[in-house]
């Protein structure tokens, strides 16, 4: 994209308030008549190719104005999730694509033609940034961290000990695996209707079934002693979310044939992930700025380019 053409790109950006409120519906319609407008949970954007913003644009006095490579760098950082509340998340790119497809279906041909090359370039560069700089970036929820610790394969059978709030919050991160619940009493309600549930008196059967165990109950010497013994049959890895490293108790027995991780291992991994994530975000932002300035090039993704042409 040549410098002169790039310098015609203009972006108007408004952050919503703490209550998630932005421009009203009438003002948004006015924005969409001026260019490609995107309304997300955090911000409202207007992207256009013009010598200047129309003075009658609603809310223009309250918005951030960006032009040229600064506008493109901002769009690229936003589309790749770098400006999201969880930096690096991938949902925003889908919002860009969906919003663009809806807008161009109703906008006049001249406006669509003026922005098409920018948007195709944005989608291509976003793919490059995510592939080269944001691979593997994820959240730091208990579920995502436990999954990284366990590293289960496709044949894993994961048993949750307990079915309280913690178990219910972690379980969704394991929906791609075969899972089951065991609880010390029958609550009468299965937290996941399609998931196997072992009866309170079937702890041994549950342990024989499992290859991995996630204990979500508080540390308890008697209960932990039972499960440490049962896990010794064929379980490969146990994660205990109620135990700290300084009080591992029976779990520290070197005779156990399984790997054991405690809550401090989760905290250690979160610190490591946070450090790596911060470095990835910094490198990705710099790459966005270099691409916008024409200082970084890469081989185009032919399959993606073809898909964009077909969808244009």
Question: 50: which DSSP letter?
Answer: S
Domains and CATH numbers, the chain: 3-135+277-311 (3.30.460.30), 142-261 (3.40.50.720)
- Res. 126: pLDDT tops 90: yes
The pairs formed by 83-90 with CB atoms below 8 angstroms and a separation of 24 or more are: 83/43, 84/42, 85/42, 86/139, 87/277, 87/281, 88/134, 88/137, 88/277, 88/280, 88/281, 88/284, 90/130
Percent over 90 (pLDDT), the chain: 42
The alpha carbon torsion through 174, 95, 43, 32 (nearest 10 deg) reads -160
Which stretches within the chain are classed as H helix? 3-6, 25-34, 68-79, 91-106, 109-133, 142-150, 165-170, 203-209, 221-230, 263-292, 302-311
Residues 6+ apart with CB under 8 A from 174: 143, 147, 152, 158
- Res. 260: pLDDT tops 90: yes
- Res. 56: pLDDT tops 70: no
pLDDT for the residue 90: 77
Q: How confident is the model at residue 209 (pLDDT cuts 50, 70, 90)?
A: very high
153-182: average pLDDT: 91
DSSP bridge partners of 198: 182
Pick from 132, 124, 129: which is nearest to 301 by CA?
Answer: 124
State the sign of the Cα–Cα–Cα–Cα dihedral 72, 73, 76, 79.
Answer: negative
Both structure tokens of 213: 């165990």
Q: Is 234 helix (H, G, I), strand (E, B) or coil?
A: coil
- Res. 194: pLDDT tops 90: no
81-110: average pLDDT: 87
pLDDT for the residue 308: 36
Name which residue leads in pLDDT, 312 or 38: 38
Q: Whole-number mean pLDDT of the chain?
A: 84
Instruction: Give the integer Cα–Cα distance in Å for 99 and 123.
Output: 13
pLDDT for the residue 61: 59
294-308: average pLDDT: 57
CB 120 within 8 A of CB 100: no
273-301: average pLDDT: 84
Q: How confident is the model at residue 34 (pLDDT cuts 50, 70, 90)?
A: confident
CB 159 within 8 A of CB 236: no
Q: Is 66 helix (H, G, I), strand (E, B) or coil?
A: strand
Q: How confident is the model at residue 193 (pLDDT cuts 50, 70, 90)?
A: low
Q: For the ranges 140-154, 187-201, 224-238, 270-284, which has the lowest average pLDDT?
A: 187-201
């Amino acid at each position: 994209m040549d410098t002169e053409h790039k310098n015609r790109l203009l972006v108007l950006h408004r952050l919503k308030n703490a209550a998630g409120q932005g421009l009203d519906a009438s003002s948004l319609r006015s924005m969409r008549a001026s260019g490609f407008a995107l309304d997300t949970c955090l911000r409202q954007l207007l992207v256009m190719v013009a010598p200047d913003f129309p003075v009658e644009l609603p809310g223009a006095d309250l918005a951030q104005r960006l032009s040229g490579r600064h506008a493109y760098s901002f769009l690229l950082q936003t589309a790749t999730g770098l400006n999201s509340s969880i930096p690096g998340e991938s949902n925003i790119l889908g919002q860009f694509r969906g919003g663009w497809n809806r807008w161009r279906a109703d906008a006049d041909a001249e406006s669509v033609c003026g922005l098409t090359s920018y948007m195709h370039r944005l989608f291509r560069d976003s793919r490059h940034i995510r592939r080269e700089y944001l691979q593997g970036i994820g959240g730091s929820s208990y579920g995502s961290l436990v999954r990284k610790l366990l590293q289960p394969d496709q044949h894993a059978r994961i048993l949750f000990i307990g079915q309280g709030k913690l178990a219910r919050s972690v379980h969704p991160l394991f929906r791609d695996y075969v899972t089951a619940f065991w609880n010390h009493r029958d609550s009468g309600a299965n937290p996941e209707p399609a998931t196997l549930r072992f009866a309170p008196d079937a702890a041994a059967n549950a342990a024989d079934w499992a290859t991995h165990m996630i204990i979500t109950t508080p540390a308890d010497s008697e209960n932990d002693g039972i499960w440490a013994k049962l896990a010794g049959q064929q379980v490969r890895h146990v994660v205990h979310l109620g135990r700290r490293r300084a009080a591992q108790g029976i779990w520290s027995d070197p005779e156990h044939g399984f790997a054991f991780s405690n809550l401090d291992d989760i905290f250690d991994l979160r610190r490591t992930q946070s450090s790596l994530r911060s470095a990835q975000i910094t490198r990705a932002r710099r790459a966005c700025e270099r691409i916008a300035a024409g200082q970084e090039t890469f081989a185009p993704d032919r399959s993606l380019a073809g898909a964009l042409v077909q969808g244009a």
